[in-house]
């Protein structure tokens, strides 16, 4: 085998470095794929070379079949999926309600609305075909007519469909008294700006209408987020009292539902992407554009800072409250009366066996769901109990290894007090104890990444919000992952410094004892 001398190794390293730099420089310039001409009118989709995205469950499939019978149609389960496909250039256009497309246009310059309608449409609230449904439908129709006559409907239109971005908030439905009973409104929450969730509350054009209607007639509004098909079936069978969120009035739907007077007029339209292919603009330019869209536009970075704050708050409180609780559990298991020792060991055993995410979910949905900060409270309690059990287990492990368990036995027999007991553990296992505590804190921090999907508006939930608003997935996910990684590195680094100091002291003690 031929061995490389120092000079050859140096040349090899330089050659590899030059090659890597050449790849990095030329990679953004790669991609000379021929661009397909973007559709300019709806009839262009009669050409099979273009693909039209359609969300199942709405009327769009039937509309396309009637108006563009030769179109190449690709079906999707949700609006989120179809617009993500359009953003990724996997399809050439999306069929959707014109007012919803216009709402997207306000927050994105990468989507264009083609002229005209595939067919005009009216949007209205749907009610069951029963006595209560007929009554509510008549009341709502009268309410809409009054809103039109007074000009309030036009103001509502300007609020939710206008260009302003700082007024997209609504009335808290919990503040409505409801002396005449409640009305359950079902809605499909991807209908921005008709009905969607923002900061954990339902908001939108139709949501404002529903709340204002209930305030006038003395009903208590209750909102249920469901899939569109489930909403329509649920209203038809009387599970829900009303359905809202850009529901198109059709003759077929009139057979199973009462419809109030239309509160919005529009139609089914097509939007196309104006985004340049990343192969054409270069990798770095595409990343910069995605970053600006995900975080800079609309000051979305503020949402991210808010999410970071909630994540750190949950971790901090869980550790600060959980550590003393873990100490108390251990002390009770050794120094208390027999009954209390049994209770402490039982609590530690139960906490050890329960998955923390199930504990947080149980706390939230059982006790705190109706509170504004309920998600944070549930998360703090759940992770506090998890960290307390970890502290209990860690103390027990190191106590058993101190002089082969003699220290723990002396503590149990009241031969030494608690202060001296914990000092002895730290003197003998300080560095290892610090490293274990660090791992426990990191586990809490990493595990908080799942609570956003329950109720907490932390980094995970912020990622979901940014993804829904910007239709960007990669960059928000990368940044979220990077932030967690940096937090973990920071915490680990701080504890490593403390562990090194503990090791030095431990060696000094061992050296003195040997002498």
> For the segment 112-136, what is each residue's pLDDT rounded down to a tens digit?
999 999 999 999 999 999 999 999 9
Q: Where along the chain do the CATH 3.40.190.10 domains lie?
A: 42-121, 125-259
Query: Which one, of 101, 52, 55, 103, lies nearest residue 78 by Cα?
Result: 55
What is the dihedral sign for C-alpha 377, 382, 383, 388?
Answer: positive
CB 46 within 8 Å of CB 23 = no
- CATH 3.90.1150.10 assigned to domain 297-514? The reply is no
Half-sphere exposure of 258 (CA within 13 A, CB side): 20
Q: ω into residue 193 within 30 of 0, thus cis? A: yes
| Residues 431-472: tens digit of each pLDDT | 888 888 888 888 888 888 777 777 677 777 777 676 666 666
pTM of the entire structure? 0.54
Residue 2 has a pLDDT of: 43
| Domain 125-259, CATH | 3.40.190.10
CATH of 42-121, one of 1.10.357.10, 3.30.559.10, 3.20.20.70, 3.40.190.10: 3.40.190.10
Helices (H), 88-130: 98-107
CB 125 within 8 Å of CB 263 = yes
| Residues 219-264: tens digit of each pLDDT | 999 999 998 999 999 999 999 999 999 999 999 999 999 999 999 9
CB 381 within 8 Å of CB 363 = yes
Cα–Cα distance for residue pair 273/109, rounded to 1 Å? 9
Residue 418 has a pLDDT of: 83
The residue behind tokens 């923390």 is 356
Cα–Cα distance for residue pair 268/97, rounded to 1 Å? 5
CA geometry: angle at 491 spanning 489 and 495, to 5°? 115
Tell me the backbone φ, ψ of residue 154, rounded to 5 degrees.
-65, -40
| Residues 367-400: tens digit of each pLDDT | 887 776 888 888 899 999 999 999 999 988 888 8
Q: Where along the chain do the CATH 1.10.3720.10 domains lie?
A: 297-514
Residue 272 has pLDDT above 60, yes or no: yes
Cα–Cα distance for residue pair 83/72, rounded to 1 Å? 17
Lowest average pLDDT, out of 43-52, 154-163, 503-512, goes to 503-512
């Amino acid at each position: 085998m031929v061995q490389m001398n120092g000079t050859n190794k140096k040349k090899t390293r330089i050659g590899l470095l030059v090659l890597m730099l050449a790849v990095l420089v030329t990679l953004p310039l790669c991609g000379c794929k021929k661009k397909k001409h973007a559709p300019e009118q709806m009839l262009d989709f009669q050409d099979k070379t273009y693909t039209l995205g359609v969300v199942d469950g709405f009327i769009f499939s039937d509309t396309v079949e009637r108006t563009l019978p030769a179109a190449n149609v690709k079906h999707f389960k949700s609006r989120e999926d179809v617009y993500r496909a359009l953003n990724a250039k996997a399809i050439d256009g999306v069929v959707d309600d014109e007012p919803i497309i216009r709402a997207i246009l306000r927050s994105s310059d990468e989507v264009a609305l083609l002229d005209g309608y595939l067919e005009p449409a009216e949007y209205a609230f749907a009610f069951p075909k029963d006595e209560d449904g007929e009554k509510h439908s008549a009341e709502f129709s009268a309410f809409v007519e009054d809103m039109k006559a007074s000009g309030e409907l036009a103001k509502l239109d300007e609020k939710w469909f206008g260009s302003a971005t700082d007024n997209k908030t609504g009335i808290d439905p919990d503040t409505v008294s409801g002396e005449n009973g409640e009305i359950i409104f079902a809605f499909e929450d991807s209908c921005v700006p008709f009905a969607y969730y923002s900061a954990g509350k339902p908001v939108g054009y139709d949501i404002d209408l529903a709340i204002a209607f209930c305030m006038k007639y003395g009903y208590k509004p209750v909102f249920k987020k469901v899939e569109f098909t489930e909403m329509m079936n649920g209203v038809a069978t009387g599970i829900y009292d009303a359905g809202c969120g850009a529901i198109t009035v059709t003759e077929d739907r009139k057979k199973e539902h009462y419809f109030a007077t239309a509160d919005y007029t529009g139609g089914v339209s097509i939007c196309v992407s104006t985004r340049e292919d990343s192969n054409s603009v270069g990798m770095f330019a595409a990343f910069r554009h995605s970053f600006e869209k995900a975080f800079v536009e609309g000051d979305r970075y503020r949402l991210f800072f808010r999410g970071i704050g909630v994540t750190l708050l949950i971790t901090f409180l869980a550790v600060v409250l959980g550590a003393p609780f873990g100490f108390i559990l251990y002390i009770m298991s050794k120094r208390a009366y027999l009954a209390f020792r049994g209770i402490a060991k039982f609590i530690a055993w139960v906490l050890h066996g329960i998955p923390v995410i199930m504990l947080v979910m149980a706390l939230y949905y059982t006790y705190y769901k109706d509170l504004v900060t309920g998600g944070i409270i549930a998360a703090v309690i759940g992770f506090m109990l998890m960290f307390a059990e970890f502290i209990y287990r860690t103390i027990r492990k190191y106590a058993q290894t101190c002089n082969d368990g003699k220290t723990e036995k002396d503590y149990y027999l009241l031969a030494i007090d608690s202060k001296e007991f914990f000092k002895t553990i730290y003197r003998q296992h300080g560095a290892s104890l610090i490293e274990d505590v660090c791992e426990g804190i990191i586990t809490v921090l990493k595990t908080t990444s799942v609570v956003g999907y329950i109720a907490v508006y932390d980094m995970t939930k912020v990622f979901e919000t940014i993804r829904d608003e910007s239709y960007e997935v990669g960059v928000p996910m990368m940044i979220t992952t990077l932030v967690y990684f940096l937090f973990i590195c920071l915490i680990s680094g701080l504890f490593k410094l403390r562990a090194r100091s503990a090791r030095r002291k431990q060696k000094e003690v061992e050296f003195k004892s040997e002498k």
